[in-house]
Amino acid sequence: EVVLTQSPGTLSLSPGERATLSCRASQSVSSSCFTWYQHKPGQAPRLLIYNTSSRATDTPDRFSGSGSGTDFTLTISRLEPEDFAVYYCQQYSSSRWTFGQGTKVEIK
Amino acid sequence: QVQLVQSGAEVKKPGSSVKVSCKASGGTFSGFGVSWVRQAPGQGLEWMGGIIPIFGTKTYGHSFRGRVTITTDESSNTAHMELSSLTSVDTAVYYCARVAVEMAAILTYYFDSWGQGTLVTVSS
C-alpha cells in the first residue's frame, strides 16, 4: 500500500501570504491519479486539483499543483480568508486509493 | 452539478451492522464509480472501498476487507455501504464520493462530488 506523508502538519499564515504544502509518497505514483482536496469542519471535502495540476471547475487560479514520482506540492499563491482549512493529498494505484494525513492551514 | 445526499445519522450497538445510502440527484452514477471514505473524530480521511469506473471492479481497503460491502442500484441512482461487526473505533462520519474518470493518454481518476456525510456512533 502506498503511504502518503504530508508536511507540515500545520501551517500558520496570514491572509495574503503564500502557502506551500508537500506530499511525499512511499513509492512512485502515477501523476494522472494524484489529487488534492480541501476540507472544512462540518462540510464535505471538496475537489481542488486532479491529475497533479488540473484545477477543478470552481477552483480559483491562486491554487496550483505540481510534482511527479514521489514528491508533490500544492501552492496557494495568496491566501484568502476562505482558504483556511485542512488539505489532503490522495493517490490511486493497484486498484486502491490512499490519503495523506492532512495539512491544516490556520490563521496566524 | 450532481448532488449526493446521504441517509441520516445512526447509533449502533457493538457487533451489529450499519448500512448507509447515498443518492445522486441532478446526475447519475452511470459511467462513474463510487467510493466510501470515513473520518473518525480528530482524524483524517480514510478510504474504505469503492467501485472503479468503467471496469465496475469492487475494491476494498486492507483495513476493511471482509467487513464492508459496497453496492449500487442504477435504477434508483443510489449507492450503499454496509459495515459489519461494528466496534467503538468505527464511530466516524462516513462520506460517499462519486469517482470520475477521464480517458486521455492514460486514465485519470478523482472524486468529483461528495455526500454531506453520515455520522455513525457505535456505543453500548
pLDDT tens, position by position, for chain A (108 residues)? 999 999 999 999 999 999 999 999 999 999 999 999 999 999 999 999 999 999 999 999 999 999 999 999 999 999 999 999 999 999 999 899 999 999 999 999
Backbone angles phi, psi at B29, to 5 degrees: -90, -10
Residue B29, pLDDT > 90, answer no
Q: Does the structure show a pLDDT above 90 at B74?
A: no
Residue B105 scores a pLDDT above 80 = no
Which chain B residues touch A45 with a CB distance below 8 Å? 37, 45, 95, 97, 111, 114
Q: How close is the nearest chain A Cα to the Cα of B118, in Å?
A: 10
Extract the C-alpha cell encoding A16: 495574503
**pLDDT score recorded for residue B30:** 83
Q: Show residues of chain B in contact with A50, CB under 8 Å.
A: 108, 110
Query: Chain B contacts of A85, Cβ < 8 Å?
Result: none
Grid coordinates belonging to A96: 486502491
Comparing A53-57, B42-46, B105-109, which segment has the lowest mean pLDDT? B105-109
Beta carbons of B59 and A44 less than 8 Å apart: no
* Residues in chain B within 8 Å Cβ distance of A90: 45, 47, 111
Lowest mean pLDDT among A37-41, A83-87, B53-57, B68-72: B53-57
Alpha carbons A77 and A79: distance in angstroms, whole number: 7
Hey, is the C-beta of A100 within 8 angstroms of any chain B C-beta? Answer: yes
The Cα–Cα gap between A31 and B70 comes to 27
For the segment B34-53, the average pLDDT, to the nearest whole number, is: 95
- Interface touch A92/B35, C-beta < 8 Å: no
Output the pLDDT for position B56: 84
Q: Cis before residue A60, ω within 30 degrees of 0?
A: no
User: B27 is written with which cell numbers?
Assistant: 446526475
Q: What is the pLDDT of residue B26?
A: 86
- Written as nine digits, the cell of A49 is 486539483
The pLDDT-based confidence of B103 (bands split at 50, 70, 90) is confident
Sign of CA dihedral B5, B92, A22, A34: negative
